[in-house]
Chain A
Amino acid sequence: MSETILLAVGIYCLAGIVISLLFLVFGIARADHAAKGAGLVFRLTILPGLIFLWPIILGRWLSGRQINQDIHGGDNS
Protein backbone atom coordinates (compact mmCIF):
# COMPACT_ATOMS: atom_id res chain seq x y z
CA MET A 1 0.00 0.00 0.00
CA SER A 2 2.75 2.44 1.05
CA GLU A 3 4.78 1.54 -2.03
CA THR A 4 1.76 2.20 -4.26
CA ILE A 5 1.26 5.65 -2.73
CA LEU A 6 4.97 6.44 -3.14
CA LEU A 7 4.84 5.31 -6.77
CA ALA A 8 1.80 7.54 -7.39
CA VAL A 9 3.59 10.51 -5.80
CA GLY A 10 6.67 9.78 -7.92
CA ILE A 11 4.64 9.66 -11.15
CA TYR A 12 2.83 12.88 -10.17
CA CYS A 13 6.14 14.68 -9.57
CA LEU A 14 7.68 13.28 -12.76
CA ALA A 15 4.72 14.55 -14.77
CA GLY A 16 5.14 17.84 -12.88
CA ILE A 17 8.78 18.14 -13.94
CA VAL A 18 7.99 17.57 -17.62
CA ILE A 19 4.97 19.91 -17.71
CA SER A 20 6.77 22.57 -15.64
CA LEU A 21 9.76 22.65 -17.99
CA LEU A 22 7.47 22.90 -21.03
CA PHE A 23 5.47 25.67 -19.34
CA LEU A 24 8.63 27.60 -18.36
CA VAL A 25 9.96 27.46 -21.92
CA PHE A 26 6.81 27.85 -24.01
CA GLY A 27 3.87 28.96 -21.86
CA ILE A 28 4.80 31.31 -19.06
CA ALA A 29 5.31 34.54 -21.02
CA ARG A 30 1.91 34.13 -22.70
CA ALA A 31 0.04 33.12 -19.53
CA ASP A 32 1.53 35.84 -17.31
CA HIS A 33 2.86 38.98 -19.00
CA ALA A 34 4.84 39.95 -15.89
CA ALA A 35 7.07 36.95 -16.62
CA LYS A 36 7.99 38.12 -20.13
CA GLY A 37 11.75 38.43 -20.40
CA ALA A 38 12.28 37.20 -16.84
CA GLY A 39 15.57 35.38 -16.46
CA LEU A 40 16.62 31.84 -15.70
CA VAL A 41 16.94 32.41 -11.94
CA PHE A 42 13.31 33.56 -11.73
CA ARG A 43 12.20 30.47 -13.68
CA LEU A 44 14.20 28.20 -11.36
CA THR A 45 12.69 29.98 -8.34
CA ILE A 46 9.14 29.09 -9.33
CA LEU A 47 10.03 25.60 -10.65
CA PRO A 48 9.47 23.72 -7.32
CA GLY A 49 6.00 25.24 -7.00
CA LEU A 50 5.20 24.28 -10.59
CA ILE A 51 6.23 20.68 -9.96
CA PHE A 52 3.83 20.40 -6.99
CA LEU A 53 0.96 22.48 -8.37
CA TRP A 54 1.24 21.65 -12.07
CA PRO A 55 -2.46 20.71 -12.56
CA ILE A 56 -3.49 24.29 -11.65
CA ILE A 57 -0.95 25.85 -14.01
CA LEU A 58 -1.70 23.35 -16.79
CA GLY A 59 -5.40 24.27 -16.50
CA ARG A 60 -4.52 27.96 -16.73
CA TRP A 61 -2.24 27.36 -19.71
CA LEU A 62 -4.80 25.29 -21.65
CA SER A 63 -7.60 27.77 -20.93
CA GLY A 64 -5.56 30.52 -22.63
CA ARG A 65 -6.40 33.00 -19.86
CA GLN A 66 -3.76 35.71 -19.51
CA ILE A 67 -2.88 37.94 -16.55
CA ASN A 68 -0.82 41.11 -16.02
CA GLN A 69 -1.51 42.24 -19.59
CA ASP A 70 -0.77 45.86 -18.60
CA ILE A 71 2.91 44.97 -18.18
CA HIS A 72 5.24 45.16 -21.13
CA GLY A 73 8.03 42.64 -21.40
CA GLY A 74 11.68 43.47 -20.96
CA ASP A 75 14.82 41.88 -19.68
CA ASN A 76 14.98 42.10 -15.91
CA SER A 77 17.20 39.13 -15.29
Chain B
Amino acid sequence: MGHQYQAIQWNRNKAHYDIAIALFALLYTGIFVVIGLQPSETGNTPDPVVLLIRAFGTCAFLLLTFILMIGPLARLSDRFKPMLYNRRHFGVFTFLLAAVHFGLALMWYHGFGPLNPFVSLFVSNQPGGTFPGFPFEVLGLAAFVIMLLMAVTSHDFWLNNLSAPVWKALHMLVYVAYGLLVIHIAAGALLTEKSMLYPALVLVAFLLVAGLHLMTGLQERGHDRLRRALEDKGWVSVSAPQDIPDKRAIIVPLRDGERVAVFRDGNKVSAVTNVCRHQNGPLGEGRVVDGCITCPWHGWQYRMEDGVSPPPFTEKIATYNLKLMNGMIFLDPVANAPGAKVDPVFFDLTEYDESGDAEAV
Protein backbone atom coordinates (compact mmCIF):
# COMPACT_ATOMS: atom_id res chain seq x y z
CA MET B 1 0.00 0.00 0.00
CA GLY B 2 1.54 3.27 -1.07
CA HIS B 3 0.75 6.83 -0.12
CA GLN B 4 -0.10 9.91 -2.06
CA TYR B 5 2.94 11.94 -3.04
CA GLN B 6 3.98 15.14 -1.34
CA ALA B 7 6.62 17.50 -2.69
CA ILE B 8 8.92 17.14 0.30
CA GLN B 9 8.11 15.23 3.47
CA TRP B 10 9.10 17.26 6.46
CA ASN B 11 8.33 16.79 10.09
CA ARG B 12 9.87 18.26 13.21
CA ASN B 13 12.74 15.75 13.35
CA LYS B 14 13.53 16.02 9.66
CA ALA B 15 13.49 19.81 9.86
CA HIS B 16 15.97 19.72 12.78
CA TYR B 17 18.17 17.26 10.87
CA ASP B 18 18.15 19.49 7.77
CA ILE B 19 18.83 22.67 9.76
CA ALA B 20 21.80 20.99 11.48
CA ILE B 21 23.31 19.98 8.11
CA ALA B 22 22.75 23.46 6.66
CA LEU B 23 24.31 25.12 9.72
CA PHE B 24 27.34 22.85 9.48
CA ALA B 25 27.79 23.70 5.78
CA LEU B 26 27.41 27.42 6.48
CA LEU B 27 29.92 27.35 9.34
CA TYR B 28 32.37 25.19 7.43
CA THR B 29 32.40 27.30 4.26
CA GLY B 30 32.48 30.52 6.27
CA ILE B 31 35.44 29.44 8.40
CA PHE B 32 37.22 27.98 5.35
CA VAL B 33 37.00 31.29 3.47
CA VAL B 34 37.89 33.48 6.48
CA ILE B 35 40.99 31.40 7.27
CA GLY B 36 41.91 31.22 3.58
CA LEU B 37 41.76 35.00 3.19
CA GLN B 38 44.54 35.52 5.71
CA PRO B 39 47.72 36.54 3.86
CA SER B 40 50.32 33.78 3.58
CA GLU B 41 53.96 34.09 4.68
CA THR B 42 54.84 35.42 1.22
CA GLY B 43 52.17 38.10 1.59
CA ASN B 44 49.89 36.63 -1.12
CA THR B 45 46.15 36.54 -0.53
CA PRO B 46 44.30 33.76 -2.36
CA ASP B 47 41.51 34.65 -4.73
CA PRO B 48 38.13 34.64 -2.90
CA VAL B 49 36.42 32.81 -5.79
CA VAL B 50 39.00 30.02 -5.69
CA LEU B 51 38.50 29.81 -1.94
CA LEU B 52 34.73 29.51 -2.41
CA ILE B 53 35.22 26.79 -5.05
CA ARG B 54 37.41 24.85 -2.63
CA ALA B 55 35.15 25.51 0.37
CA PHE B 56 32.05 24.13 -1.34
CA GLY B 57 33.97 21.26 -2.94
CA THR B 58 35.60 20.09 0.28
CA CYS B 59 32.36 20.54 2.22
CA ALA B 60 30.46 18.37 -0.29
CA PHE B 61 33.23 15.75 -0.16
CA LEU B 62 33.19 15.69 3.64
CA LEU B 63 29.40 15.34 3.77
CA LEU B 64 29.44 12.60 1.13
CA THR B 65 32.11 10.78 3.14
CA PHE B 66 29.92 11.03 6.22
CA ILE B 67 26.83 9.83 4.31
CA LEU B 68 28.73 6.76 3.11
CA MET B 69 29.86 6.04 6.68
CA ILE B 70 26.32 6.10 8.11
CA GLY B 71 25.25 2.75 6.60
CA PRO B 72 28.12 0.63 7.92
CA LEU B 73 28.17 2.50 11.26
CA ALA B 74 24.47 1.73 11.76
CA ARG B 75 25.17 -1.94 11.02
CA LEU B 76 28.03 -2.01 13.50
CA SER B 77 26.16 -0.24 16.31
CA ASP B 78 22.50 0.57 16.94
CA ARG B 79 23.56 3.97 18.32
CA PHE B 80 24.11 5.21 14.78
CA LYS B 81 20.76 4.04 13.45
CA PRO B 82 18.99 7.40 13.99
CA MET B 83 21.45 8.86 11.46
CA LEU B 84 19.95 6.66 8.75
CA TYR B 85 16.80 8.69 9.15
CA ASN B 86 16.50 11.45 6.56
CA ARG B 87 19.59 10.32 4.66
CA ARG B 88 17.90 11.23 1.38
CA HIS B 89 17.60 14.91 2.38
CA PHE B 90 21.26 14.75 3.41
CA GLY B 91 22.21 13.44 -0.04
CA VAL B 92 20.25 16.08 -1.94
CA PHE B 93 21.79 18.83 0.20
CA THR B 94 25.26 17.47 -0.50
CA PHE B 95 24.48 17.51 -4.21
CA LEU B 96 23.45 21.18 -3.97
CA LEU B 97 26.84 22.02 -2.42
CA ALA B 98 28.58 20.06 -5.19
CA ALA B 99 26.50 21.98 -7.75
CA VAL B 100 27.73 25.32 -6.37
CA HIS B 101 31.33 24.02 -6.53
CA PHE B 102 30.79 22.79 -10.10
CA GLY B 103 29.09 25.98 -11.28
CA LEU B 104 31.73 28.29 -9.79
CA ALA B 105 34.63 26.18 -11.11
CA LEU B 106 33.10 25.99 -14.59
CA MET B 107 32.60 29.74 -14.81
CA TRP B 108 35.87 30.73 -13.13
CA TYR B 109 38.24 28.42 -15.01
CA HIS B 110 36.35 28.02 -18.31
CA GLY B 111 33.85 30.85 -18.60
CA PHE B 112 36.09 33.64 -19.86
CA GLY B 113 37.75 32.04 -22.87
CA PRO B 114 36.70 31.78 -26.53
CA LEU B 115 35.47 28.20 -26.10
CA ASN B 116 32.13 27.05 -24.73
CA PRO B 117 32.78 26.39 -20.99
CA PHE B 118 31.77 22.72 -21.30
CA VAL B 119 34.01 22.23 -24.33
CA SER B 120 36.84 24.00 -22.52
CA LEU B 121 36.35 21.67 -19.55
CA PHE B 122 36.98 18.66 -21.78
CA VAL B 123 40.07 20.00 -23.53
CA SER B 124 42.01 21.67 -20.70
CA ASN B 125 43.30 20.73 -17.29
CA GLN B 126 42.98 23.92 -15.29
CA PRO B 127 43.72 24.90 -12.59
CA GLY B 128 46.62 22.68 -11.52
CA GLY B 129 48.30 21.93 -14.77
CA THR B 130 51.00 20.00 -12.93
CA PHE B 131 49.62 16.67 -14.12
CA PRO B 132 49.36 17.30 -17.86
CA GLY B 133 46.90 15.22 -19.83
CA PHE B 134 45.07 13.79 -16.85
CA PRO B 135 41.37 14.66 -17.11
CA PHE B 136 40.80 15.32 -13.41
CA GLU B 137 38.02 17.82 -14.14
CA VAL B 138 36.22 15.34 -16.39
CA LEU B 139 36.31 12.82 -13.52
CA GLY B 140 34.75 15.46 -11.29
CA LEU B 141 32.09 16.07 -13.94
CA ALA B 142 31.35 12.32 -14.15
CA ALA B 143 30.93 12.18 -10.36
CA PHE B 144 28.71 15.26 -10.53
CA VAL B 145 26.48 13.68 -13.21
CA ILE B 146 26.01 10.59 -11.01
CA MET B 147 25.14 12.77 -8.01
CA LEU B 148 22.78 14.78 -10.21
CA LEU B 149 20.93 11.65 -11.36
CA MET B 150 20.69 10.46 -7.75
CA ALA B 151 19.39 13.82 -6.52
CA VAL B 152 16.75 14.20 -9.22
CA THR B 153 15.48 10.65 -8.65
CA SER B 154 15.41 10.83 -4.85
CA HIS B 155 11.63 11.30 -4.66
CA ASP B 156 9.38 8.30 -3.99
CA PHE B 157 7.82 8.92 -7.41
CA TRP B 158 11.07 7.66 -8.95
CA LEU B 159 11.38 4.71 -6.58
CA ASN B 160 7.93 3.58 -7.74
CA ASN B 161 8.32 4.39 -11.42
CA LEU B 162 11.85 3.09 -11.97
CA SER B 163 11.15 -0.01 -9.79
CA ALA B 164 13.08 -0.69 -6.59
CA PRO B 165 15.92 -2.77 -8.17
CA VAL B 166 16.65 -0.16 -10.87
CA TRP B 167 16.42 2.71 -8.37
CA LYS B 168 18.74 0.91 -5.96
CA ALA B 169 21.25 0.11 -8.73
CA LEU B 170 21.25 3.75 -9.81
CA HIS B 171 21.83 4.95 -6.25
CA MET B 172 24.60 2.39 -5.64
CA LEU B 173 26.56 4.35 -8.26
CA VAL B 174 27.37 6.69 -5.38
CA TYR B 175 30.39 4.46 -4.71
CA VAL B 176 31.62 5.02 -8.28
CA ALA B 177 31.08 8.75 -7.78
CA TYR B 178 33.05 8.70 -4.53
CA GLY B 179 35.97 6.87 -6.18
CA LEU B 180 35.95 9.38 -9.04
CA LEU B 181 35.93 12.24 -6.55
CA VAL B 182 38.93 10.87 -4.65
CA ILE B 183 40.91 10.73 -7.93
CA HIS B 184 39.50 14.14 -8.96
CA ILE B 185 40.87 15.67 -5.76
CA ALA B 186 44.13 13.72 -5.71
CA ALA B 187 44.99 14.53 -9.33
CA GLY B 188 43.68 18.09 -9.17
CA ALA B 189 43.69 20.36 -6.14
CA LEU B 190 46.07 18.23 -4.06
CA LEU B 191 48.87 18.50 -6.63
CA THR B 192 49.15 22.23 -6.06
CA GLU B 193 48.75 21.91 -2.30
CA LYS B 194 51.94 22.44 -0.29
CA SER B 195 50.51 21.48 3.08
CA MET B 196 50.21 17.77 3.94
CA LEU B 197 46.95 18.43 5.80
CA TYR B 198 44.63 18.07 2.81
CA PRO B 199 46.21 14.91 1.34
CA ALA B 200 46.09 13.38 4.84
CA LEU B 201 42.41 14.33 5.28
CA VAL B 202 41.41 12.85 1.91
CA LEU B 203 43.34 9.67 2.69
CA VAL B 204 41.73 9.34 6.13
CA ALA B 205 38.26 9.94 4.64
CA PHE B 206 38.78 7.30 1.97
CA LEU B 207 40.24 4.79 4.44
CA LEU B 208 37.33 5.36 6.85
CA VAL B 209 34.73 4.68 4.15
CA ALA B 210 36.60 1.68 2.75
CA GLY B 211 37.51 0.29 6.18
CA LEU B 212 33.99 0.57 7.60
CA HIS B 213 32.52 -1.18 4.57
CA LEU B 214 35.12 -3.93 4.87
CA MET B 215 34.35 -4.37 8.57
CA THR B 216 30.60 -4.62 8.02
CA GLY B 217 31.17 -7.00 5.12
CA LEU B 218 33.18 -9.30 7.39
CA GLN B 219 30.55 -8.95 10.13
CA GLU B 220 27.76 -9.87 7.68
CA ARG B 221 29.75 -12.92 6.63
CA GLY B 222 30.04 -13.93 10.28
CA HIS B 223 26.29 -13.47 10.80
CA ASP B 224 25.51 -15.49 7.69
CA ARG B 225 27.70 -18.31 8.94
CA LEU B 226 26.01 -18.21 12.36
CA ARG B 227 22.54 -18.16 10.79
CA ARG B 228 23.35 -21.15 8.61
CA ALA B 229 24.70 -22.94 11.69
CA LEU B 230 21.45 -22.19 13.57
CA GLU B 231 19.33 -23.44 10.67
CA ASP B 232 21.49 -26.56 10.43
CA LYS B 233 20.69 -27.20 14.09
CA GLY B 234 17.00 -26.97 13.24
CA TRP B 235 16.31 -23.40 14.48
CA VAL B 236 13.35 -21.85 12.69
CA SER B 237 13.23 -18.26 11.39
CA VAL B 238 10.08 -16.60 12.76
CA SER B 239 9.75 -12.98 11.70
CA ALA B 240 11.17 -9.52 12.27
CA PRO B 241 10.25 -8.57 15.86
CA GLN B 242 8.47 -5.39 14.84
CA ASP B 243 6.18 -7.41 12.56
CA ILE B 244 4.64 -9.18 15.55
CA PRO B 245 1.65 -7.05 16.65
CA ASP B 246 2.25 -5.47 20.05
CA LYS B 247 0.69 -7.49 22.95
CA ARG B 248 -0.09 -10.25 20.46
CA ALA B 249 1.58 -13.33 19.05
CA ILE B 250 2.26 -15.08 15.83
CA ILE B 251 1.89 -18.85 15.85
CA VAL B 252 4.76 -20.91 14.44
CA PRO B 253 4.01 -24.51 13.40
CA LEU B 254 6.92 -26.93 13.94
CA ARG B 255 7.73 -30.05 11.93
CA ASP B 256 6.61 -32.39 14.70
CA GLY B 257 3.10 -30.85 14.68
CA GLU B 258 3.74 -28.75 17.81
CA ARG B 259 2.73 -25.07 17.61
CA VAL B 260 4.61 -22.27 19.35
CA ALA B 261 3.21 -18.83 20.23
CA VAL B 262 5.80 -16.04 19.86
CA PHE B 263 4.53 -13.04 21.83
CA ARG B 264 5.65 -9.43 21.72
CA ASP B 265 5.18 -7.00 24.60
CA GLY B 266 6.61 -3.63 23.57
CA ASN B 267 10.27 -4.27 22.80
CA LYS B 268 10.35 -7.78 24.36
CA VAL B 269 9.69 -11.05 22.56
CA SER B 270 9.17 -14.47 24.22
CA ALA B 271 7.96 -17.86 23.04
CA VAL B 272 5.76 -20.45 24.78
CA THR B 273 3.77 -23.45 23.70
CA ASN B 274 0.52 -22.57 21.96
CA VAL B 275 -1.45 -24.90 24.25
CA CYS B 276 -3.08 -23.62 27.45
CA ARG B 277 -2.89 -25.96 30.48
CA HIS B 278 -6.55 -25.39 31.25
CA GLN B 279 -8.47 -26.73 28.25
CA ASN B 280 -5.80 -26.70 25.50
CA GLY B 281 -6.97 -23.26 24.36
CA PRO B 282 -4.89 -21.51 21.61
CA LEU B 283 -2.69 -19.18 23.66
CA GLY B 284 -1.28 -17.57 20.50
CA GLU B 285 -4.72 -16.13 19.75
CA GLY B 286 -4.75 -14.42 23.13
CA ARG B 287 -2.99 -11.26 24.16
CA VAL B 288 -0.59 -9.89 26.75
CA VAL B 289 -2.42 -8.32 29.70
CA ASP B 290 -0.39 -6.79 32.56
CA GLY B 291 2.74 -8.53 31.24
CA CYS B 292 1.05 -11.97 31.22
CA ILE B 293 0.00 -14.10 28.26
CA THR B 294 -3.76 -14.44 28.58
CA CYS B 295 -5.67 -17.37 27.07
CA PRO B 296 -8.53 -16.19 24.82
CA TRP B 297 -10.84 -18.97 26.07
CA HIS B 298 -11.01 -18.55 29.83
CA GLY B 299 -8.43 -15.90 30.69
CA TRP B 300 -5.80 -18.20 32.24
CA GLN B 301 -2.55 -16.29 32.50
CA TYR B 302 1.17 -17.11 32.22
CA ARG B 303 4.21 -14.89 32.64
CA MET B 304 6.02 -14.32 29.35
CA GLU B 305 9.50 -15.03 30.71
CA ASP B 306 8.89 -18.43 32.36
CA GLY B 307 5.40 -19.63 31.37
CA VAL B 308 4.33 -19.77 35.04
CA SER B 309 0.91 -18.49 36.17
CA PRO B 310 1.18 -15.46 38.46
CA PRO B 311 0.68 -16.18 42.20
CA PRO B 312 -1.32 -17.60 43.80
CA PHE B 313 -1.62 -19.94 40.77
CA THR B 314 1.08 -22.49 39.96
CA GLU B 315 0.35 -23.76 36.43
CA LYS B 316 3.35 -24.00 34.10
CA ILE B 317 3.71 -24.27 30.34
CA ALA B 318 6.76 -24.98 28.15
CA THR B 319 8.95 -22.08 27.04
CA TYR B 320 11.22 -21.84 23.98
CA ASN B 321 14.58 -20.19 23.35
CA LEU B 322 14.76 -17.31 20.88
CA LYS B 323 17.62 -15.44 19.22
CA LEU B 324 17.55 -12.11 17.37
CA MET B 325 19.94 -12.03 14.45
CA ASN B 326 20.15 -9.46 11.63
CA GLY B 327 16.69 -8.18 12.55
CA MET B 328 15.11 -11.65 12.48
CA ILE B 329 13.81 -13.77 15.37
CA PHE B 330 14.97 -17.41 15.35
CA LEU B 331 13.25 -20.13 17.40
CA ASP B 332 14.85 -23.25 18.88
CA PRO B 333 12.26 -25.98 18.21
CA VAL B 334 13.33 -27.95 21.30
CA ALA B 335 10.97 -27.03 24.14
CA ASN B 336 12.28 -26.17 27.59
CA ALA B 337 10.76 -27.80 30.65
CA PRO B 338 7.46 -26.18 31.73
CA GLY B 339 8.22 -23.13 33.87
CA ALA B 340 11.85 -22.81 32.68
CA LYS B 341 12.92 -19.17 32.73
CA VAL B 342 14.13 -17.74 29.41
CA ASP B 343 15.26 -14.14 29.08
CA PRO B 344 13.13 -12.32 26.50
CA VAL B 345 14.73 -11.07 23.31
CA PHE B 346 14.93 -7.27 23.34
CA PHE B 347 14.93 -5.11 20.25
CA ASP B 348 15.23 -1.37 19.60
CA LEU B 349 11.69 -0.14 19.19
CA THR B 350 12.53 3.51 18.50
CA GLU B 351 14.21 2.88 15.18
CA TYR B 352 11.09 1.16 13.85
CA ASP B 353 8.86 3.98 15.05
CA GLU B 354 10.97 6.42 13.08
CA SER B 355 11.24 4.36 9.93
CA GLY B 356 7.48 4.30 9.71
CA ASP B 357 7.72 7.77 8.31
CA ALA B 358 8.50 7.22 4.66
CA GLU B 359 11.18 9.41 3.21
CA ALA B 360 10.88 11.47 0.09
CA VAL B 361 13.26 13.75 -1.77
Interface flags, B152-188, vs A, CB<8A=1, else 0? 1101111011100000000000000000000000000
Q: Which of B2, B3, B7, B153 contacts A41 (CB 8 A)?
A: B7
Bound: A5/B44 CA distance, A: 40
Looking at the complex, which of B115-123, B200-208, B237-245 is the stretch in contact with chain A?
Answer: B115-123
- Quick check: is B52 within 8 A (CB to CB) of the other chain? no
**Secondary structure type dominating chain A contacts:** helix
Bound: A36/B1 CA distance, A: 15
Bound: A62/B157 CA distance, A: 18
- Quick check: is A63 within 8 A (CB to CB) of the other chain? no
CB distance from A2 to the nearest CB of B (A): 4
Of residues 1 through 20 on chain B, the ones whose CB sits less than 8 Å from some CB of chain A are 1-8
Of residues 54 through 68 on chain A, the ones whose CB sits less than 8 Å from some CB of chain B are 56-57, 60, 67-68
Q: Are B152 and A52 in contact (CB under 8 A)?
A: yes
CB distance from A73 to the nearest CB of B (A): 8
Given A42-B6, A71-B3, A6 contacting B157 (CB threshold 8 A): no
Bound: A36/B122 CA distance, A: 43
Q: Which of A6, A53, A56, A68 contacts B116 (CB 8 A)?
A: A6
Of residues 120 through 137 on chain B, the ones whose CB sits less than 8 Å from some CB of chain A are 122-123
Residues of chain A within 8 A (CB-CB) of B116 are: 2-3, 6
- Quick check: is A13 within 8 A (CB to CB) of the other chain? no
Q: Are A46 and B157 in contact (CB under 8 A)?
A: yes
Interface flags, A5-31, vs B, CB<8A=1, else 0? 010000000000000000000000001
Number of CB contacts from chain A to chain B under 8 A: 80
Q: Are A34 and B158 in contact (CB under 8 A)?
A: no
Q: Are A49 and B158 in contact (CB under 8 A)?
A: yes
Given A3-B119, A34-B4, A49-B155, A68 contacting B361 (CB threshold 8 A): no
Q: Are A52 and B149 in contact (CB under 8 A)?
A: yes
Q: Which residue of B lies closest to A3 (CB)?
A: B119
Bound: A66/B137 CA distance, A: 42
Q: Which of B118, B152, B153 contacts A6 (CB 8 A)?
A: B118
Given A2-B119, A46-B157, A68-B160, A38 contacting B361 (CB threshold 8 A): no
Q: Are B122 and A2 in contact (CB under 8 A)?
A: yes
Residues of chain B within 8 A (CB-CB) of A34 are: 2-5, 156-157, 160
Q: Which residue of B lies closest to A37 (CB)?
A: B4
Q: Which residue of B lies closest to A45 (CB)?
A: B7
Q: Are A45 and B155 in contact (CB under 8 A)?
A: yes
Q: Which residue of B lies closest to A67 (CB)?
A: B160
Residues of chain B within 8 A (CB-CB) of A71 are: 1-4
Among A2, A37, A49, A53, max chain B CB count under 10 A is at A49
Residues of chain A within 8 A (CB-CB) of B119 are: 2-3, 6
A-B CB contact pairs (8 Å), 20 listed: A2-B116, A2-B119, A2-B123, A3-B119, A6-B118, A32-B157, A34-B2, A34-B3, A34-B5, A35-B5, A36-B4, A44-B7, A45-B7, A52-B152, A53-B149, A67-B160, A71-B1, A71-B2, A73-B4, A76-B5
**Contact residues of B with A, CB < 8 Å?**
1-8, 116, 118-119, 122-123, 148-149, 151-153, 155-158, 160-162, 361
**Contact residues of A with B, CB < 8 Å?**
2-3, 6, 31-32, 34-39, 41-42, 44-46, 48-49, 52-53, 56-57, 60, 67-68, 70-71, 73-74, 76-77
